[in-house]
Amino acid sequence: MTPLFLASGSPRRRELLTQIGVPFSVVSAPIDETPLAAEGAPAYVERLARAKAAAGLASIAGPGVVLGADTAVVLDGRILGKPENREQALAMLAGLSGREHQVLTAVALGDGRRMHSVCVASTVRFRAISADEAQRYWASGEPADKAGGYAIQGLGAVFVTGLSGSYSAVVGLPLSETADLLGQFGIACWQSLAHSPEVTNQR
């Protein structure tokens, strides 16, 4: 089977790929993530996902498929990246407090001959967040490297009152859509089950 490479340093994406039984190697794919002038959020995340996949392809020596992904939190049409400091993180949380926002995650797969990508949009609703809560959350260290300043799979889950869309996409990789893309490149999910003995459910 063609080897898969993940062009991402995100531990969440590594965990999600492992969850669906897909073996992979990690490659470095540094790119410029500056938005282009008048670039919409869906176009931005898909462009970055494809750029990461292309950069990953350039770094591998032999044949392989490279997966790139990018996630953005969007509020009122504005992309919220990773907060650069405490003040920016608190401002993001104040903006998200008591409101709905979008989370866009794009996934791109390429093998040097073709590149396919998809962008998945989800809507997340937050309860009201007090200033004290926001400060304590920042002190936890979790918001520092997260798009939008929060992690739905971590301590930030207490703010979430609703989700419409893909939970795994909000974490960083939409698993249903990713599995479909992998299948287009001949990479199967659940590979860890291929040689496992049949398991019988017992009650």
- Of 70, 76, 111, 145, which residue is the catalytic one? 70
For 172, the 3-state DSSP assignment is: coil
* CB-CB contact of 70 with 76 (8 Å): no
The residues that bridge with 78 in the sheet, in sequence order, are: 75
Distances (CA, A) of 60 to 13, 64, 65, 108, 202: 19, 8, 10, 16, 45
- Kind and range of the H or E run holding 56: helix 41-59
- The single-letter code of the amino acid at 152 is I
For 44, the 3-state DSSP assignment is: helix
Active site residue 32: no
The two structure tokens encoding residue 53: 């996949």
Residue found by looking up tokens 């995100």 in the block: 10
- Bridge-based pairing state of the strands 4-6 and 65-75: parallel
- For residues 143 and 137, give the distance between their C-alpha atoms in angstroms, rounded to a whole number: 7
Catalytic residue set: 70
